[in-house]
Amino acid sequence: MTFRRAAPIARSLRIAPVALLLLGATALAQAAGSPPRVGESPAHAAPSSAKAAQLAAQATPSPAQLIEQGTRLEHGESVPRDLAAAHDLYCKAARSDSPDAFLRLGWMYANGRGVERDDSIASTLFRRAADAGSAVGARLSEAIRGSEDRLPECLTKAAQVAQADRGPTPTVSDPAQFRAPRGGIEQQALVAAVVRMAREFRLDPRLVFALIRVESGFDPMARSVKNAQGLMQLIPETAERFAVRNVFDPLENLRGGMSYLRWLLSYFEGDVVLTLAAYNAGEGAVNRHGGVPPYPETLAYVQRIRAFYPFDQHAFDPKVARNGPPRILPARIPGPRTEAPFTIAKAG
């Protein structure tokens, strides 16, 4: 990590450039706690009611978990580097007044890492970190002075909506997380197919990639103990429901899985958490429980995907599931909901 203006700032403060660099590195090293690593296998034993409640609380990632995943994405640690996604995760954590999130966002704006460099935003974020108790934030706010108080747009609006094709194309570059499917489709061809089909089904490609990563690890021949099969782990009943004849054909499996995902988003009015819970346990189970079922597998499943896709709300077409069975939508938690920076655009 570099601090582009280390020398000029150091001269103005009468400190060595390396000291300023270490100051920033110290800021980024002060993470809040030690959250569990994303992707760790949950225990499958039946939990106590207290454990189930704990898992339910974890279905939405904590600020520390969001920061951990954002750090991985910012630096490309075991995942493809994605500064835009890291910025989104830091923003979500900052909405909980996390001083570490303010520091990391400020560092991005101070250095123009994935965003346009902006001293005013950087300084304001460092002051927010200082107000939340960060001594490093206080020192950095003195080192970088902006002309006005200004926060990034992600902290001034509850939801942002942008065209999907303005963002980076999702990639799958870690060989440990990808096995090329049989039948000749190679890695980049599969990535392109997922992006193209996701937009055809009016889905955020990042949600589809997160789901495939957790469901099958990008293995088109994956089969679970419950006989869920293929990239998007379709059980026989779901495959038949969406006219999938060969679940091990990657493109056919993707089409069936995205059809179901699109239907669930319509049925649950764009609620990402309920949609993911239903993809794992079925919409009937979500209705019976009036929310995410207290199944250990489902709770852990929702938590794992949310670590990669932290948005609460997704655009949906109400007509897709208009003939579905009556649904029970639980009362939503008060406060702003984070909408994915993605909007439905006609497939062209």
Lowest mean pLDDT among 121-130, 180-189, 218-227, 287-296: 180-189
> What is the pLDDT at residue 328?
67
Closest CA to 14 of 202, 143, 173: 143
> What is the pLDDT at residue 79?
83
> What is the pLDDT at residue 311?
86
* Same-domain status, 179 and 148: no
> What is the pLDDT at residue 95?
83
Number of Cβ within a 10 Å radius of residue 56 = 17
Domain boundary among 95, 121, 155: 155
Measured in residues, the chain has a length of 348
Give the DSSP per-residue string, 36-90.
PPTTPPPP-SPPPHHHHHHHHHHTSPPHHHHHHHHHHHHHTSSS---HHHHHHHH
243 against 52, higher pLDDT: 243
Grade residue 331 by pLDDT with cuts at 50, 70 and 90: very low
* Helix-, strand-, coil-residue percentages of the chain, each rounded to 5: 50, 0, 45
Read off the DSSP letter of residue 223. B
The most confident of 51-60, 182-191, 295-304, 327-336, by mean pLDDT: 295-304
In a domain, 320, yes or no: no
Across 282-295, b (16+ Cβ under 10 Å) vs e yields bbeebbebebbbeb
Task: Give me the number of domains the chain comprises.
Answer: 2
3-state SS assignment for residue 222: coil
pLDDT tens-digit map of 103-162 = 999 999 999 999 999 999 999 999 989 888 888 988 998 888 888 888 898 887 533 333
Distance from C-alpha of 208 to C-alpha of 194, rounded to nearest angstrom: 8
* Same-domain status, 107 and 73: yes
Q: Which residues contact 161 (CB under 8 A, 6 or more apart)?
A: 315, 339, 341, 342, 343
Residue with tokens 């706010």: 141
Q: Do residues 38 and 72 lie in contact, with contact meaning Cβ atoms separated by under 8 Å? A: yes
In a domain, 145, yes or no: yes
* Same-domain status, 189 and 238: yes
Domain interval for residue 293: 164-308
Residue with tokens 């000749």: 184
* Same-domain status, 171 and 298: yes
240 is catalytic: no
3-state SS assignment for residue 32: coil
Q: From the candidates 74, 116, 148, 215, give the one annotated as an active-site residue.
A: 215
In a domain, 344, yes or no: no
pLDDT tens-digit map of 64-97 = 989 999 999 999 888 888 999 899 899 988 888 8
> What is the pLDDT at residue 185?
55
CATH number for the domain including 110? 1.25.40.10
* Same-domain status, 240 and 145: no
* Same-domain status, 147 and 178: no
* Same-domain status, 33 and 97: yes
Taking 60 as the threshold, does the pLDDT of residue 24 lie above it?
no
Strand partners, 34: none
Strand partners, 144: none
Q: Is the pTM of this model over 0.85?
A: no
Percent of the chain exceeding pLDDT 70 equals 68
* Same-domain status, 122 and 67: yes
Q: Do residues 20 and 3 lie in contact, with contact meaning Cβ atoms separated by under 8 Å? A: yes
* Same-domain status, 146 and 179: no
Give the DSSP per-residue string, 253-278.
HHHHHHHHHHHHHHHTTTBHHHHHHH
pLDDT tens-digit map of 212-244 = 999 998 888 999 999 999 999 999 999 999 999
In a domain, 323, yes or no: no
